[in-house]
Structure 1
């Protein structure tokens, strides 16, 4: 069985399909998505519909991201969070104009069933952003940390790789898991358009919401599969590059 982790999508259905075609997904594969399926490009509702249908054929895990939380809240109550509206929510709402109430209800259930993290049989952790508890994700106090935290990635980036895992100064957060896969913080912020590795943390958000790409990574071989840059696929749109 092959397992792939797939980074932030942000309404870029064309790019997602490119990545899956390059992976050549087949029966027996496992796909773990680290969240932020919506907000940015024009096909957010279409992305969700595609993923719902994909999950009926392929073993998928869908982690919930912060943009997914905002969209879920809107689908449930129709209340528009101003922060969400300014960060891609407007485009997501527009993408739902051709979807029925029944479709929206099904998508709401899809969001509601998303876990905040996933730990596989080899003790590899997958989540959208990070966690702060030195005792691991199961001891995290605040749910929002899983989809908003950036300190995990910041800590991993600044660590001296010469520090051994059994050292007294090795962060306890990192000791609990063989590897940690996250999204949320675009690697293009660090002038990198491929997944980045720091200590045992892999950041696979390669900036699809902005000028970057969607990335998938084989978590065993570390082979990377990427879409074209999103602005090239949606030339008449701005995404979140406003």
Structure 2
């Protein structure tokens, strides 16, 4: 009799690629003890955001709030914001998300689910968040701007924010860091970045990190290839202060 052990999979930004997510979950060969955590940005850009959200809800997987979920909720529910946020969200992939819904009722139900998403999750040895934290602020003074949107201040931290746990983030595509190849995972001061740019034509890699074994599982949503590596094989340690290349506001 084989004894199954708990595995903890952290999955980066899916961005509406339902078939790619199915392929990745198949590659993981999940058992009943496994835990699956999504870092946010399930939606936008890809063709099947509604189906991605339905899958995550159906299996009761844990998902964090990403900046794209935050934009969607603000654009479609907050009357004081939507005239400003709606066109930004639509240009950042929201149009594809709206097209993926077959009914307003389905959309309303998912908006109710989205507003319940947590901003971060503490697993003890690891701390999950979509974008990062501001190193100059205490945890209880961080806001949605830090948890869902921050980049440069977090990436340029010279010292870990937590002394006893590693932060895992999505949000910023890893190949936008200087010297990083598509599919690589980046390592900063006390943090790992695993958004390998599934939607982007330069990459296509959708990544899951199993944090107990330090194994990386990847599928390419464009050419439907897959691969499994140890974290050390695909890890790119960043120099302190290395900045990302410019990005547009919608990402």
Q: Which bracket does the TM-score occupy, shorter chain normalised? A: 0.7 to 0.9
Q: Which 4+ stretches in 1 moved above 6 angstroms?
A: none
1: CA distance, partners of 2:153 / 2:20? 27
Q: State the Cα deviation string for residues 92-151 of structure 1 (Å, max 9, x = none).
A: 11111x1x23322221121011001111133x21000011154543331x3221100003
Match for residue 95 of structure 1 among 92, 100, 117: 100
1:40-189 to 2 correspondence within 5 Å?
A: 40-55=45-60, 60-76=61-77, 79=82, 81-96=86-101, 98=102, 100-122=103-125, 124-134=126-136, 136-140=138-142, 142-156=143-157, 159=158, 171=159, 174-189=161-176
Q: Is this contact kept in 1: 2:135–2:154, CA < 8 A?
A: no
Q: Is this contact kept in 1: 2:38–2:62, CA < 8 A?
A: yes
Q: Is this contact kept in 1: 2:135–2:161, CA < 8 A?
A: no
TM-score, reference length from structure 1: 0.79
1: CA distance, partners of 2:19 / 2:141? 38
Match for residue 192 of structure 2 among 202, 208, 211: 202
Q: Which residue of 2 aligns with 1:224?
A: 216
Q: 1:176 to 1:143 in 2, by over 3 A?
A: farther
2: CA distance, partners of 1:24 / 1:136? 39
Q: Is this contact kept in 2: 1:181–1:201, CA < 8 A?
A: yes
Higher relative contact order (CA 8 A, sep 6+): 1
1:187 Cα deviation from its structure 2 partner: 0.8
Match for residue 207 of structure 2 among 190, 205, 215: 215
1: CA distance, partners of 2:198 / 2:115? 24
Q: Residue 74 of structure 2: SS of its match in structure 1?
A: helix
Q: Which residue of 1 aligns with 2:32?
A: 27
Alpha carbon RMSD of aligned pairs, Å? Answer: 2.0
Structure 1 or 2: more strand by fraction = 2
2: CA distance, partners of 1:135 / 1:84? 28
TM-score, reference length from structure 2: 0.77
Q: Is there any run of 5+ residues in structure 1 with no aligned partner, and where?
A: 160-170, 234-242
Equivalent residues, number: 210
Q: 1:14 to 1:136 in 2, by over 3 A?
A: farther
1: CA distance, partners of 2:36 / 2:95? 28
Q: Residue 207 of structure 1: SS of its match in structure 2?
A: coil
Q: Is there any run of 5+ residues in structure 2 with no aligned partner, and where?
A: 1-5, 225-251
1:1-40 to 2 correspondence within 5 Å?
A: 1-40=6-45
